[in-house]
Structure 1
Amino acid sequence: MSFNDVPAEAYDRFMGRYSTLLAPLFLDFAGLDPAKDSSEGRRVLDVGCGTGALTAELAAELAARFGQETIAAIDPSPPFIQAVRERYPQVDAREANAEELPFPDASFDAVLAQLVVHFLTDPVAGIREMRRVTRNAGVVAASVWDFAGENSPLSVFWRAARELDPQVRDESLLPGAREGHLRELFVSAGLRDVIEVALEIRREHSGFDEWWAPYAGGVGPAGSYLASLDPDHRLELRERCRASLPPGPFVLTARAWAARGMVVQAAA
């Protein structure tokens, strides 16, 4: 899935409203250990940083937790990387793909990937790259919304879409989107001591129109699907979504699967 033509502000309105809530939970789960700080400081990489939801959490929290940090971030989307550079000038932000990280072996103490593995062309290859650039005994962690369990922020939308079109290709079959699959991918990529947990967020919406409006921005598979419909079908989908939600304000609960593993390099 390409986000190369998506403005950063459109992504912020669509997914950023949820990913910013997930970021602190995910960072806590990653379990970066202040006792492992070295005299050279710690280095952390944000893979698939998007517009910077996790990058912001890293920049704000890690210095307080661990002392001086060096944070790097990569994303294949030019507008997203430009936004991260402008918002967080202290971050080493580069345009790159997860499957080909532009860093030497063992460059980082931890590599984190929030809401990106499911969009990788080859998720195992991408996680192997994350392992490659992580030092021995370092941490790799990733998270993906629970699309298969219909507990994602987009589940109301996709449920209504399937009612109208049972053949619609939603996000439930994407890598890591079902319980246990992210762990399987981590093990296949050679990570050790892999664990998977569920992380849950709650987001209040003022009403239906506030919830619905960002879908018109064409962001991600849901936005692309909506844009592909003729006006009558778009209206019907919108009204089915409206009927599925309570009057505002209302709270949506969403769950993400998160996996964490350790890098153990083979002895020379």
Structure 2
Amino acid sequence: MSGRRRAARPAGRRGRLVAAACAAVFVVVGIGAVAWVFLGHDQIHQPRSRDAGAESSPMSTGQGSERDAVPSACDTLSKSVADKLAPGADRSATLATQSDEHSECAWSRYGSRTRQLSVELRALAAGGGASATDTATRTFSDEWHADRDGKDLSDGVKVRDSRGVSGVGEQAYVVYTVDASAAIGEAIANARLGNVLITVHYSGGDHLDAAGTPLSSHTAGDGALEAARDVVSKLESHS
């Protein structure tokens, strides 16, 4: 499955938060240098500029077992995590045809406190003389560069933060974007575990007044990473 994973958005890879008039896009950031692996939680969540260069480039910390299939995304994320990040949201599979290698699920709630959460799982196959893990690693790198650079973003949506993350699978990053016109902030967390890519979109905003307030980088990024960690831990426990 080489197609890009932009989870839960009916419009494909980039649009998960297209609902009502909200076009939210969070983008996820690159992994820090090897030294980051030993950083504590507070340090991991310090904002990183997307221009941080080599220091923010995702780096592999190992190679896990390869999988031919992924479980249901709707069933893999813990209900407690989904309820925390998107309370009262409706849950639905977002692919017209789920397959053994690809599964997506979204939790959506609109109104004065808009929240959208999506999880996508992709098991990449070997090809062109490369192993499945090598293919996933290359795809992960391509997606990191695209997310960091804000490719395919709608007009008015800007990358505001990107950073590398350790301790979530073998490679991970989180990117944060803001749609100022819709007052929506979105984080994309992308992680690799062997040949499986786990992509989480978490977006929203509080629209209690005319201006509205986008979900902050801290709230969106931490939420996306919490969901990604939860899914990774489930996959690791069933490897």
TM-score (norm 1): 0.24
Higher strand proportion (structure 1 or 2): 2
TM-score with structure 2 setting the length? 0.26
Q: Which has the higher helix share?
A: 1
Q: Which structure's CA Rg is the greater one?
A: 1
Higher relative contact order (CA closer than 8 Å, sequence separation 6+): 2
